[in-house]
Structures are given as C-alpha cells and as structure tokens.
Structure 1
C-alpha cells in the first residue's frame, strides 16, 4: 500500500467549496429571514428541516462512495466538492448541535467554521513535513492551541446542555405511563 499522500488540489477544492457554500447559505438565510426572498426552507409535517441534515446526508453519501467505490480522477474531484459542501452545511449549524433548539445565529457555529477553514487551509497550502521550517511549526503550534481552546469551550458548553436536556428527559420519564 502506498504511503498516505494528501492531494493539495483536492484539499483546495474542499476549502473553496466549504467557504463558498457557507457564504451562500448565510446569505440565503439572511434574505429569507428578512423576507427579501420567499421561504425556501423544507417543512415536513410542520417541522423545519435544517440544512445541517442535508450536510449530514451529503457527508454520509461521500463517505460510502469513497469506501465502496474508490473513485479516482474527475469523480474524486466531484466527491471533494460534495464533501466541502456537506461540511459547510453541517457545521454552519454547529451551535444548534450544542444548544438543541437554540437560535441559528450562535457564535459556536462561526467558531467551528473558522477552525475547520483553518485546518482545510493548512491541508491545502502547507508544505510537506520535509519542507517544514520554524515558522511552519510556530503556525501549527498556534493553530493547535486555538483548536484546543475551541474543544475546551465545546466541553464547557455541554454543561449548559445538561442543565436544559436532563430535566426535560427526567420530566418525560416521570410522567410517561408505565
């Protein structure tokens, strides 16, 4: 088996698609919420299907495609583009993962998009480890610290979720018939 090689071209496709999809989605949400364009949201039985669900399905599809069909060439580029879009759709609503039922405009979503963009940017444009110099290691260290802080904040937010979700689940459990 060949050693792991990251295609900078594919990583750049993912990065560009990720950022463009995020921008388009945010602009569409602003236009819909300000009633400048019609409501394009999918509603099933009165339930609004959030776009993170579309992202999850895209990511699942790309994962299965990669795993079972091992695409190459143009098909691999298309998979990279779909992957970037799926990541953006999913992580644009990252804050809603943490604070179930919370508002769309959460700081955690923007933070997640920023961190993931930085990681994709590093993968797309960083030199190989053989060509790493001091400034590359310093940049990697700073990003590692930033990601560590992000995950610390993520873990801290779980305390908030516990305060909201656990009482609701306990209420459901105590009021449901045996």
Structure 2
C-alpha cells in the first residue's frame, strides 16, 4: 500500500514524497492458523459433550448414515481452494477463505485417524493420532506465520558458491529430519525442516525402542537398547500427553 504525503521544510514547504507501507502477507496465514486452532478446540469440546451425553449436540445422520465432521472439513477446503484459484479475491475475501480453509483443515485432521485406519477409531487408542496430527499442524502453521519458511534462499545470494551452499544446507536439513523421524520422533523431524536445530537435537538423542532406527541399530541385549527402554518405558506419560488428554479427551471408555 502506497500512501502519498506532503511535508514542509524551511527550504521547500511543498515537498511531496510517497511512503510505501507493505502489509505483511503473514496476516492471512494468521487468520488461517487461528481458525484452525479455534475450530479444533471447539470440535473437541462438542465431541466430548456428545460422548458424555451432555448438551444439545448429537451426531449428524442422513438416512441412517453417520456423517463425520471430516466430510464438512473436506468440503470447506475444496470450496475455499476453488474460489481462491478461480477468483483470487482481495481482502476481506482472502481472509474469509483463509478462515474457511483453516476451519476445514481442523475438522478434517480431527478425524485423521479415521481416514488413516479406514474405520471409526475416534475414541480408541489409535484415535490419538488425530490429536497428534492437529497439534503438529498447528505448530507448523505457527512457525510458518512467524517466518520460518523451509527451503528459502532469499538471503543466500545469487552466486554459484551461494547456491551450492544453500543446496548442501537443505540436504543436511532433510537428512537430519529423516533421521529424527526414523528414531520415532516424527514431530521433531517435521518441525526440524523449518528449525534445523530441533532435528539436530532429536538426532543426538536416543531413539524410541519401537522405532525403525532402534530395531535396526540397537541389538536387543545392547546397552543402547536398555537405555532406550529406560528412557521410554511402556505406558510412559509426559506433560504433552496430559495436555492432549485435557484438550482431546482420553482414549477408550
């Protein structure tokens, strides 16, 4: 946005200049991430009330078929994406589409476990994957809004050495992220694509006992296998697990 202004001085009282005020594009992302978080929390509140038999809410059924809320989420994302590609609206239309897409993504990821396992495991132990996916998506969205853009070479220059250096850094970042994921630290690996230090820390720490890295590189009677089992014992509960239970509800029951 360019704003014209007139300033006066002792020598020339009629000096005109233009002030270029660039509105940050991250604002649209903030609308999307905000809608995602609000919709996810609201959805969990409603589903827990339905589960407990409280409040005016109930499952949506059409002709005896339970319509899961991921259906509404998919439709919202499809509509928002189609309008954005076809019309390219200006504000406030752009913000409205961002809210629609964020809300649709929340409704869809809240049932991530259902379309992963192809069965209704919403309140089963497998359903915890939906909460994990939503938490990870919110974290990635917030990092993107904050300016952590992966694989961006905006400050690396245009010379050959700069380009080679950028490629090597990206490759190293990807390798660290893959190792973190193989060690059973998926969230750290994905976040590490934007914040390499996070992936590096995950790579330096012990792998989880049931991870592909541990199964291949930690022999059953080795000291590393025993240390990994002590570090990640069966049934281990962390502060993050308690937070997920508080927001998403406990599995089973």
What is the TM-score of this pair, normalised by structure 1? 0.69
CA distances 1:84-132 after superposition (whole Å, capped 9, x unpaired): 1000000000000111223213111011111111111111112676589
Match of 1:140 in 2: 195
Distance (whole Å) between structure 2 residues aligned to residue 131 and residue 74 of structure 1: 31
Distance (whole Å) between structure 2 residues aligned to residue 55 and residue 13 of structure 1: 17
> How much is the aligned-residue C-alpha RMSD, in angstroms?
2.9
Alignment pair present for 1:34 and 2:55: no
Higher relative contact order (CA 8 A, sep 6+): 1
1:57 to 75, 84, 88: 75
Within 5 Å, which residues of 2 pair with 1:101-140? 101-105=119-123, 106-126=127-147, 140=195
SS at match of 1:41: coil
Within 5 Å, which residues of 2 pair with 1:139-158? 140-141=195-196, 142=198
Q: Deviation of residue 55 (structure 1)?
A: 0.2
SS at match of 1:67: helix
Q: Deviation of residue 34 (structure 1)?
A: 0.6
Identify unmatched segments of 5+ residues in structure 2. 1-23, 157-191, 203-210, 212-253
Cα pair distance change 1:145/1:57, threshold 3 Å: farther
SS at match of 2:139: helix
SS at match of 1:107: helix
CA distances 1:44-90 after superposition (whole Å, capped 9, x unpaired): 11111000000000000001101111111100010011111000000
Q: Which runs of 4+ in 1 moved over 3 A?
A: 127-132, 143-146
Alignment pair present for 1:8 and 2:8: no
Match of 2:173 in 1: none
Match of 1:167 in 2: none
Q: Deviation of residue 22 (structure 1)?
A: 0.2
Q: Deviation of residue 138 (structure 1)?
A: 8.8
Aligned residues: 139
Match of 1:156 in 2: none
Bigger CA radius of gyration: 2
Distance (whole Å) between structure 2 residues aligned to residue 20 and residue 143 of structure 1: 28
Match of 2:66 in 1: 48
Cα pair distance change 1:36/1:121, threshold 3 Å: same
